[in-house]
Amino acid sequence: MIQNLFFIFLFLVSNLALSEEVKLSCDMKVTKLYSTGSEEHLNINEVFDIIDSGSIKSITPLSPNFNGTTTRNFEGKLSYKDYSTPNKWHLNEAASSGDAIVNTTIIIDRHSGKISYSGLFKNPSGSVTTSAVGDCVKLDTTKKKF
């Protein structure tokens, strides 16, 4: 029994060791196109939390300016694609809630720190297409470089 608990403990610890958590601060140039024809340009500093534990990846903004993406399944998720490589995180997700559909793609180059974001929010009363590009820096520099 104790031997089994020891192996379970080692398994859990090894999974934690392989898991990567990174917090990035990104200066982004944002363009929002509304279905009414109006356009909005913004400069935003956004903080993203990134979790990469192999099969589970997520890129989560800390403000409501952007949608996040994850490989985890949840109610309303229509699809996801993980195109990530060791050199970049690249997640695409489509989800729905009621009459609204949201499609989000986030790409972060791990060498240059460049980020690219595209999002589409669509419901019966209209849509908003958001695109953004920018540069990110790692906030917690005590951990390994992203």
Tell me which residue of 142, 141, 132, 146 sits closest to 46, measured CA to CA.
132
**Claim: this prediction has a pTM higher than 0.75:** yes
| Distances from the Cα of 95 to the Cα of 33, 52, 68, 144, angstroms | 20, 21, 11, 33
Specify the higher pLDDT residue, 38 or 8.
Answer: 38
- Give me the count of residues in the chain: 146
Summarised one tens digit per residue, pLDDT across range 53-70 is: 878 999 999 999 999 998
Sorted by where each begins, the domain ranges of the chain are: 20-138
Domain 20-138 has CATH 2.40.128: yes
Which whole number is the average pLDDT over 88-96? 94
Min mean pLDDT across 13-27, 78-92, 94-108, 125-139 is at 13-27
Given a cut of 70, is residue 144 above it in pLDDT? no
Q: Residue 72 — very low, low, confident or very high, per pLDDT cuts 50/70/90?
A: confident
Query: What confidence score (pLDDT) does residue 140 get?
Result: 72
Q: Say what the pLDDT of residue 142 is.
A: 65
What are the distances in angstroms from CA 129 to CA 30, 35, 38, 137, 139? 10, 8, 11, 26, 28
Q: Give the per-residue pLDDT at 75.
A: 79
Question: Does residue 5 have a pLDDT over 90?
Answer: no
Q: Considering only 22-36, 73-87, 99-113, which range has the smallest mean pLDDT?
A: 73-87
